[in-house]
Amino acid sequence: MSLIILLMVSASMLSGCSVFGPLPDRVERTLVEGTQQNKEFLIILLPGMLSDAKHMQKEGVPDAIHRGWPEADIMMADLTINYYRKGEVVKRLHDEIMLPARQQGYSEIWLAGGSMGGMGTLMYEWNHPGEVDGLVLISPYMGSGDVTDSIREAGGLASWNSGDSAKVMHKDNYDRLVWQMAQNWIGDDRKLQRVWLMCGDEDRLFPAVQMLGEILPDDRYFPAPGNHSWDYWIPNMEIVFRKLGESRKIKLTEMDTSSR
């Protein structure tokens, strides 16, 4: 049984209700505004398996991001496990969150996700390559052991034979496809610079995440002591988003200068 199925069962038991009910007509979302005067930066944040916007606010996630990058607006989208189970997460994210955000005129939109939300972030990138300005992967779930073991046995992502490409993502190939996508980033500095990755070295997901981190530039990968917990995520999110925010302000300044 895959980790995603085990986590679905855990979510059902811990919540005291079924995760197999109908989806809401509208994806719930919570906007926490930053200090920017103009709509320059938006972070769309996807929750982990047992989380949602209320839980992330309670744990101090928006506060941590704003301590690092105070200017950015943060939109937390309640794309919970049932959207993944029904194969709707990418479509609903695109139609109900991403397109309206673009219409609001943000200069840059960054997609971020923790654990399950990290996989959702990668799935969106596979289906809509380059549509967001970048990805922030927070201890991301990287798929089944079958796929990650095959990468490890091959000696790493660069030497992995990923098999045939597919044109449609589904429940049986989503993890292989996101790893294929990551493999195609190798040697393309522009694509690699768009990806920011963090994970604790005691996290159960770290061995898989480490294989992704190995292909990223040193200033885009942030391994640190810690496990799969808020005690690790909160302080390290502040660090990552501070560095990201600084890099984007520099980039926009350079673009503004060159256009004069």
Give the start-to-end residue ranges of the domains of the chain: 3-258
- Contact in structure between 193 and 217 (CB atoms under 8 Å): yes
pLDDT digits (tens, 9 = 90+) for 202-259: 999 999 999 999 999 999 999 999 999 999 999 999 999 999 999 998 776 665 566 5
Residue 137, pLDDT score? 99
- Contact in structure between 44 and 77 (CB atoms under 8 Å): yes
Ranges assigned E (strand) in 59-101: 73-77
Q: What is the CA radius of gyration of the chain?
A: 18
Residue 168, pLDDT score? 94
Rounded distance between C-alpha atoms, residue 193 and residue 207, angstroms? 22
Identity of the residue numbered 160: W
- Contact in structure between 151 and 209 (CB atoms under 8 Å): no
Closest C-alpha among 7, 169, 31 to residue 88: 169
Quick one: tokens of 45? Answer: 């944040």
The DSSP 8-state label assigned to residue 167 in this structure reads: S
Quick one: tokens of 57? Answer: 């606010």
- Contact in structure between 8 and 85 (CB atoms under 8 Å): yes
Quick one: tokens of 228? Answer: 């799969």
**Mean pLDDT along residues 186-192:** 98
Q: Which class does domain 3-258 fall in?
A: alpha beta
> At residue 98, what are phi and psi to the nearest 5 degrees?
-70, -50
